[in-house]
Amino acid sequence: MYTYRGTLIKWVDGDTAIVEIDLGFYTKRLERIRLARINTPEIRDEKGTERRKAKHARLIARKFCPHGSTVRLETFKSKRDMYARYIGEIFFEGQNASDHLLATGVAEEI
């Protein structure tokens, strides 16, 4: 497992975020991070009810960790999903984003 400091740029949906990762030595990289252990509805879903649920999950994630926040990111070596996103955990002010989304009921555990 690897730990990085980063800046949360944007929540794509409830379980995917774009993070600017500080790699050290004045080197930064933008990556899409898929939150580990959870699943939320997809923004691009054809059903209106699922899209509303997805937007609600994204809103909860934004309230928990607003854009521009400094976060701690934990990723697993070379572990990516089928869309080439890194799988990881995002921590904001010592709290895990996946755990928060599960506790609020907008995500399900996988």
CATH number of the domain where residue 82 is located: 2.40.50.90
Q: Is the pLDDT of residue 30 over 80?
A: yes
Q: Record the pTM.
A: 0.90
Question: How far apart are the C-alpha atoms of 60 and 36, rounded to whole Å?
Answer: 17
* Number of domains making up the chain: 1
pLDDT at 45: 78
Higher pLDDT, 55 or 79: 55
pLDDT at 5: 97
pLDDT at 7 over 80: yes
29 in helix, strand or coil?
strand
Q: How far apart are CA 47 and CA 65, in angstroms?
A: 27
pLDDT at 46: 79
H/E stretch holding 19 reads strand 16-24
For residue 33, what are the domain limits?
Answer: 2-109
Q: Where residue 31 falls among pLDDT bands split at 50, 70, 90?
A: very high
